[in-house]
């Protein structure tokens, strides 16, 4: 299996922290030297391990924001 290369270009924020120290974060990440995308997933405290997550383009983030704005929260 090929090595997964990533670089966190911008840490946007943490949504929560588990008792074990893992944080659910929104970041702008470049995967395998490609253009950065928005990414939400759990990270170990030193960012050496990650959980499953979701990666979105800027256009998808705009649509998601519009959907959130329509919710009655």
Tens of pLDDT, residue by residue over 26-58, are: 999 999 999 999 999 999 999 999 999 999 999
Residues in the chain: 73
Residue 31 belongs to what domain range?
A: 6-70
| The predicted structure's pLDDT at residue 57 | 98
**Does residue 1 form part of some domain?**
no
Least confident of 1-5, 14-18, 48-52: 1-5
Conformational region of residue 44, where left means phi above 0, alpha means psi within -120 to 50, and beta covers everything else = beta
> Residue 19 belongs to a domain with what CATH number?
2.30.31.70
**Does residue 16 form part of some domain?**
yes
**Does residue 48 form part of some domain?**
yes
Which pair of structure tokens corresponds to residue 19? 């008792």
Structural domain count, the chain: 1
- Pick from 32, 35, 29, 23: which is nearest to 2 by CA? 32
Q: Which residue's entry shows tokens 């659910």? A: 24
- More confident: 1 or 32: 32
Dist CA 11 CA 69 (whole Å): 23
């Amino acid at each position: 299996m090929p090595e997964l290369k990533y670089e966190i270009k911008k840490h946007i924020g943490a949504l929560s922290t588990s008792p074990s120290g893992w944080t659910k974060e929104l970041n702008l990440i470049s995967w395998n030297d490609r253009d950065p995308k928005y990414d939400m997933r759990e990270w170990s405290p030193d960012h050496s391990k990650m959980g499953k997550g979701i990666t979105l383009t800027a256009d998808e983030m705009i649509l998601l924001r519009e959907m959130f704005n329509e919710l009655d929260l």
